[in-house]
Amino acid sequence: MRPDRAIIRATAEARAQFYDCDPMGVVWHGNYPRFLELGRVAVLHAIDYGYRAMEASGYAWPVVDMGIKYAQPIRLLQTVEIDAGIVEWENRLKITFDIRDKASGKRLTRAYSVHVAVDIAKEQMQWETPPILREKLRPWL
């Protein structure tokens, strides 16, 4: 799914640093989740459900699935925009991502991550979205 089909979207900006890159000066494939996390933080912040709010609500949302399509590399010192959108929220939280070159707008990467709610106190995965996420999403539903 694409972020433009999301009920809410947010954008983060990042610049590829030396520590992100391999000897060829491109972001090593294993470092892409760091860029996705910046997008995830932005979209969750947009609904006022960041890490502290999650913890206060009694739920953690670990990643259980992730897919990344590498179309073009992110290069050393390249500034990118990470567009993140929530596309599923009923039984799991699915966020899609488009990473684009900031200067040209050219798409570099498309990705998604899937998260499930875990009751922190009971350490149990929830099979249905907890009411708190529905409350946070209500303005966009």
The percent of residues above 90 in pLDDT, for the chain, comes to 96
According to the model, what pLDDT value does residue 99 have? 98
Mean pLDDT of 64-87: 98
Domain ranges of the chain: 3-140
Provide mean pLDDT across the span 51-57: 96
Question: What is the residue-averaged pLDDT of the chain?
Answer: 96
Interval 47-75 mean pLDDT: 97
Contact criterion met (CB below 8 Å) for 130 and 91: no
In this structure, the dihedral spanned by the alpha carbons of residues 8, 48, 60 and 63, taken in order and rounded to 10 degrees, is: 30
What pLDDT sits at residue 101? 98
Question: At 5, is the pLDDT very low, low, confident or very high (cuts 50, 70, 90)?
Answer: confident
Give the pLDDT confidence score for residue 31 in this predicted structure. Answer: 97
Q: Which tens digit of pLDDT belongs to each residue from 83-102?
A: 999 999 999 999 999 999 99
Question: Alpha-carbon distance 60 to 83, whole Å?
Answer: 23
Residue range 109-139, pLDDT digits in tens: 999 999 999 999 999 999 999 999 999 999 9
Instruction: Tell me the longest C-alpha to C-alpha distance in the chain.
Output: 47
3-140: CATH homologous superfamily? Hotdog Thioesterase (3.10.129.10)
Distance of CA 101 to the CA centre of its chain: 17
Q: Is the pLDDT of residue 1 over 80?
A: no
Q: What is the distance between the alpha carbons of residues 26 and 82, in angstroms, rounded to a whole number?
A: 17
Q: How confident is the model at residue 46 (pLDDT cuts 50, 70, 90)?
A: very high
In one-letter notation, the amino acid at residue 123 is: E
Per the rule left: phi > 0, alpha: psi between -120 and 50, beta: everything else, 77 is: left
From CA 19, how far away is CA 30, in angstroms rounded? 12
b/e 2-14 (16+ beta carbons within 10 angstroms → b): ebeebebbbbbeb
Cβ-proximal residues to 15 (8 Å cutoff; 6+ apart), any chain? 77, 78, 79, 80
